[in-house]
Amino acid sequence: MKRTFAALASAALGLSLLAGCGGSGSGSSDSIKIGVNYELSGSVATYGDASVKGIELAIEEINAAGGINGKQVELVKYDTKSEPAEATTLATKLMTQDKVLTVIGPATSGSFKATIPVANQNQVPVISGSATAEDVTVSNDKLQEYAFRTCFSDSYQGTAMANFAAENLSATSAFVIKDTSSDYAKGLADNFSQRFGDLGGTVVGEEGYVSGDTDFNAILTRIKNQDFDVIYLPGYYNEVGLIIKQARELGITQPILGGDGFDSPTLLQLAGASALNDVYYTNHYSSLDTTNQQLQAFTEAYTAKYGEEPNAFNALGYDTAKLVADAIGRSSELTGEAVKEALASTEDFEGVTGTFSIDPETHDPVKAALVIGLKDGVQDSVEKAAI
């Protein structure tokens, strides 16, 4: 019985390998294929959807303008269902079967990291517009050769917010509430606490929750009577929205600070407009950033195509796709390796999230963080955070 099973299993394996070989021969030479590997369903679908909208707009514009060196760009799009394992499988499929030149996405760090070994192995670059975790492009002091990103890292966001809290809000004490089930929130919290301490502030306490929680009244009641100037609340909009709502209902009036996980229209729906006052978060992009030349054109094109205002994920997706196209245009030949070289040598790329270069040592962009302030749920102020 066991032997029959083994035989069947190996036969099935052989068949699937054959099928794999059959699929790999396709791909026309007059178009350039770029993989899009994003969370289109599941828990963080908002991020994936938003990024893909930006990417599609960028590619549409590139194709309308004649493509890359005369070749049209073709997107091959897959859904990771917000699962890292699925992301790895799809990245492999994109690289070995669809023969794409570059894979864009996934949006979250965990899923993106899961695709990096595949990228290094197949020598096809992967690039994300929103994987902000610390060890994405450099892990254990070793550069991940084929991984890039167009967003700044968590340490940068945490540090920027600590500066903002100490200097702009004159805060001397902070309370940290973090999502302990997410590396993103932990990274932001650690860097915030460290910088805030360096600037002479004290973190009076820390609380944790896990993603999916809905009742925060108990922890909020606990911290209500403590003395602090600001709350630092790194996390994603689903829980953050509820925490802000419940905190304001309990009469906690201190400013609430956070990271780019706040950036979603869902935040406003969950928390309600009246709760979103004195709320500040670091972000990659703001429509209020009038110093940016590209922004106007992007906002108009985006609004015309989708009938809504773009958010940071749209903008980052757009920039990422434009950067990839730019690099492919500059690369000496159409191979993953050449595109990687071109990406790593990007200088002064003008994007809607700011003008930036790619640091060849870290594959991170060099750019400033923005701190957005909310008033009645609407963006009211924007400042460039100094480092």
Partner 1 sequence: MEQVLQQLINGLSLGSIYALIALGYTMVYGIIQLINFAHGDVYMVGAYVGYVCMTHLHIGFFPSLVVAMAACAVLGMVIERVAYKPLRHSTRIAVLITAIGVSLLLEYTMMYFAGAAVRSYPELPAYLTRSFHFGGVVVTSLQISIVAVSVILMVALQFIVRRTKLGKAMRAVSQDQDAARLMGISVDNTISFTFALGSALAGAAGVLVGVYYNSINPLMGILPGLKAFVAAVFGGIGLIPGALLGGYVIGAIETLVSWVGFSTFRDAVVFAVLIIVLIVKPSGILGKNVREKV
Shorter beta-carbon distance to partner 1: residue 48 or 351:
48
- Cα(327)–Cα(336) distance, integer angstroms: 11
Return the range that interacts with partner 1 (CB under 8 A); candidates 129-137, 138-146, 239-247, 356-364: 239-247
- Cα(105)–Cα(66) distance, integer angstroms: 24
204 near partner 1 (CB under 8 A): no
Shorter beta-carbon distance to partner 1: residue 41 or 121:
41
What is the footprint of partner 1 within residues 330-369 (CB under 8 A)? none
- Cα(14)–Cα(192) distance, integer angstroms: 52
**Per the structure block, which two tokens stand in for 164?**
């903002």
What one-character-per-residue DSSP string does 295-313 give? HHHHHHHHHHHHSS---HH
Shorter beta-carbon distance to partner 1: residue 71 or 81:
81
**Burial category of 10 from C-beta neighbours within 10 Å (exposed 0-12, middle 13-18, buried 19 and up):** exposed
Q: How far is the CB of 107 from partner 1 (least distance, A)?
A: 14
What is the footprint of partner 1 within residues 168-187 (CB under 8 A)? 180
Q: Mask of contacts with partner 1, 118-137, x by CB under 8 A?
A: --------------------
Shorter beta-carbon distance to partner 1: residue 152 or 236:
236
- Look at residues 256, 131, 134 and name the one whose alpha carbon lies nearest to residue 188: 134
241 near partner 1 (CB under 8 A): yes
| Cβ(96)–Cβ(330) below 8 Å | no
The answer, yes or no, to whether the previous bond of 265 is cis (omega within 30 of 0) is: no
266 near partner 1 (CB under 8 A): yes
Q: What phi-psi label fits residue 108: left (phi over 0), alpha (psi between -120 and 50 degrees) or beta? A: beta
**Per the structure block, which two tokens stand in for 230?**
């600001």
Shorter beta-carbon distance to partner 1: residue 266 or 379:
266
Residues shown for the chain? 387
Q: Mask of contacts with partner 1, 32-61, x by CB under 8 A?
A: ---------xxx-xx---------------
Shorter beta-carbon distance to partner 1: residue 202 or 269:
269
What is the footprint of partner 1 within residues 60-89 (CB under 8 A)? 82
Please identify which residue in 270, 276, 279, 321 interacts with partner 1, judged by CB under 8 A: 270
209 near partner 1 (CB under 8 A): yes
Sheet architecture: strand order including 102-104: 72-79, 31-38, 102-104, 126-128, 147-149
Count of residues near partner 1 by CB under 8 A:
32
Please identify which residue in 20, 22, 197, 212 interacts with partner 1, judged by CB under 8 A: 212
- Cα(210)–Cα(262) distance, integer angstroms: 16
Strand partners, 143: 138
Shorter beta-carbon distance to partner 1: residue 249 or 309:
249
| Cβ(126)–Cβ(148) below 8 Å | yes
296 near partner 1 (CB under 8 A): no
Determine the residue type at 31.
S
- Look at residues 369, 387, 385, 353 and name the one whose alpha carbon lies nearest to residue 150: 353
222 near partner 1 (CB under 8 A): yes
227 near partner 1 (CB under 8 A): no
249 near partner 1 (CB under 8 A): yes
Q: Which residues bind partner 1 (CB under 8 A)?
A: 41-43, 45-46, 82, 180, 207-210, 212, 214-215, 217-219, 221-222, 224-225, 238, 241-242, 245, 249-251, 266, 269-270, 272
